[in-house]
Copies of this chain bind each other. A is one copy, B any other.
Amino acid sequence: QPKFDKIFNKIDELKPSFIDRLAKAIEIPAVSGDESLRPMVVKKSEYLVQELESLGFTDIQVKKLGTQPPPVENPNLQLPPVILSRYGNDPAKKTVLVYGHYDVQPAALSDGWASEPFKLVVDEEKQLMRGRGSTDDTGPLLGWLNVVQAHKEAGIDFPVNLITCFEGMEESGSLGLEKLIAEEASNYFKTTDAVCISDNYWLGTKKPVLTYGLRGCNYYQIIIQGPAADLHSGVFGGVIAEPMVDLIKVMGTLVDSNGKILIEGVDEMVAPLTEKESQLYEKIDFSVDDLNAASGSNTSLYQKKEDILMHRWRYPSLSLHGVEGAFYGPGAKTVIPAKVSGKFSIRTVPDIDSEKLTKLVVDHCNNAFKALNSPNKCYAELIHDGNYWVSNPYNASFTAAAKATKDVYGVDPDFTREGGSIPITLTFEEELKTSVLLLPMGRGDDGAHSINEKLDISNFMGGMKTMAAYLHYYAESPEN
């Protein structure tokens, strides 16, 4: 599109310096889940502040979040800071808040990486950049900085006021962030018109997507308590009611092998499928082969694309995760565990009410246990919940992002949802009372939390161009 020629060309021209900026960031092993590397997370925040300063961002605030709550080795461990900053503060312009995280997942060469994970390697043949954080989320985060730089150097007025909210604890539960967002909603974030998060991925590897929905997650445990301590199965087998037997029976009543949830009343809460929504799935570039490739198996419950996508995105699911308190090692141990806790979670979707769901789950477990006539004790409880999120994919922000995608990639994006949750999405929406757009940069096969995490150079470049064009289109749109 001639409209963005100048800025797109500048982005292309600055490619070497953008890769260089990313390489410098990747070199800092900012693993938030490793206490001993906490100084590195802080160091990476300092690197970002330095880059923001040199690009002319203003009102830079390094927000301390206090001490990390237990469990921690070091009781005085400080949480990494959240970096707030602005680029532009023109009341005539719209304000877009961009969120990203500078911490990363753990990585070690010995895990099977093809090269040192904390050294960005540019594979010229495959045209990709490999390194921990390349796609999750350092590459996309720096994308926003790069877009600012490109505008400056091209002499183009920045179309919106930009606010950054960069955290360093996302891979470890975003501790402290929710509170900060609530506090800054009427302060630093007050003028925000829209939030954009670039921290997820295309569904596949070829077609860009915009993401307008996420499932929630209610996590439960069923605790069965019997004897006072673990017993030997030789001495007590056959004469004691074994908690593990009761637990397996109760867990067996939750879901069937075809994925159908057997808890009464859950399906009834799911919003019915409309004709309009139904048509959304037909267009999406996806097949059962993609699912099989991702799982490395032929264990899909459905063969039709639409069924798979709907069961990933808009229907609830129940997964059995494991058992705490029982024998879990290799080999053979003849223990009768005294107290076992079965862990399972339900992915939630519109219009499931979390509290009502929990009541159904707890009642179901209690009834299933009661039917066993066991002298043991059973207790079912919610461990945590996070609500689902669904946005309007036809609002101003999504419309702008869709136009931008078309300009950059030449195709209309697929509108996708995700099966997992990004809890901060809902927090931004609720606290700031604005729409949130999920604008992924990387591909579905980037290996965000695996070995050999990568970001294709074409996605890096295309992603930044999409960010730039999105900001322009959103700035021009009549509504907020």
Instruction: Give residues in A with beta carbon < 8 Å to B.
Output: 215, 217, 219, 226-229, 231-242, 244-246, 248-249, 251-252, 255-259, 291, 294-302, 308, 311-312, 315-324, 326-337, 343, 345, 347, 372-376, 383-384, 418-421
Contacts and interface: CB of A to CB of B under 8 A. Distances in A.
Given A234-B347, A246-B257, A257-B373, 9 more contacts: A227-B297, A237-B317, A237-B319, A237-B419, A238-B317, A239-B302, A240-B301, A322-B323, A324-B330
A319 B299 contact: no
Contacts of A241: 257-259, 299-301
* Total copies of the chain: 2
A71 to B, nearest CB: 9
Contacts of A301: 238-241, 375
A450 to B, nearest CB: 8
13 contacts: A233-B321, A234-B419, A238-B315, A240-B291, A242-B259, A244-B322, A248-B252, A251-B252, A252-B252, A321-B334, A322-B327, A322-B337, A323-B328
A333 B343 contact: yes
A334 to B, nearest CB: 6
B319 A233 contact: yes
Nearest to A375: B299
A470 to B, nearest CB: 25
Nearest to A261: B238
Contact of A420 (B234, B242, B317): B234
A334 B322 contact: no
Nearest to A420: B234
A419 B236 contact: yes
A237 B318 contact: yes
A332 B228 CA distance: 24
Nearest to A293: B228
Nearest to A317: B238
Contacts of A383: 331-332
A247 to B, nearest CB: 8
Contact of A296 (B217, B229, B318, B323): B229
Given A327-B343, A418-B234, A299 B226 contact: yes
